[in-house]
Amino acid sequence: MTSTKESDIASDTPSSPKNVYKDPDDGRQRFLLELEFVQCLANPTYIHYLAQNRYFEDEAFIGYLKYLQYWQRPEYIKYIMYPHCLYFLELLQNANFRNAMAHPANKEVAHRQQFFFWKNYRNNRLKFILPKPQPEEAPTPAVPPPAAAQPQLPLSASNIAMTTAPPAPASAPSPMPYGLASGSALVKNDMRNSGIDRRKRKHERS
């Protein structure tokens, strides 16, 4: 009698391997549900919804968030399409962040910073990936070959005198080119004398 009762009690205990839960589809459904929930954490608005409905005050839910950190392993992270969810999952382990996300202003700040990251991520990444172009060196100008020096002839005494003698002064033109030299045979025309001569000639003819 006692043996039959002990066997019944042992069969009802949760530690019995006969009562271990086994997924009918080998855990595929559970895998997809947890993957979907983890990727929903990439949306700050959804985190704000969880905080507003006091999910973060439930210790069981906090333990579930700790359990979901296995998605950071290399064998699981390859299925993640929105990597921001893992960043927010790490932040949700902090109680201060969970309380701050209950405020709409903090939700907007997180969403704005996420947008700026998406906007500038490609350009910032290319700065470190693409090789920087080397500065072009200015071409050095070709130096012309030195000209052959012409041989200098020995200078004689006459050449030295010709080269050192000052040039003869050129005759300067007279400031009055039409002036007559003193003692010239030409007589200047006087307007008064010419008028008297005309009258005399006229009187003689009459």
Q: Could you tell me which CATH class the domain 28-127 is placed in?
A: mainly alpha
Residues 30-40: what's their mean pLDDT? 93
Kindly tell me if the per-residue pLDDT of 23 is higher than 80. Answer: no
- The closest alpha carbon to 196, from 185, 204, 186, belongs to 204
CA of 141: how far to CAs of 138, 144, 146, 147, in Å?
9, 9, 15, 18
Q: How far apart are the first and last CA of the chain?
A: 199
According to the model, what pLDDT value does residue 115 have? Answer: 84
According to the model, what pLDDT value does residue 119 have? Answer: 77
According to the model, what pLDDT value does residue 86 have? Answer: 93
- Asked whether 42 and 35 are in contact (CB, 8 A), the reply is no
Q: What is the pTM of this model?
A: 0.49
Residues 152-175: what's their mean pLDDT? 54
60-118 pLDDT tens trace: 999 999 999 999 999 999 999 998 999 999 999 999 999 999 999 998 988 888 887 77
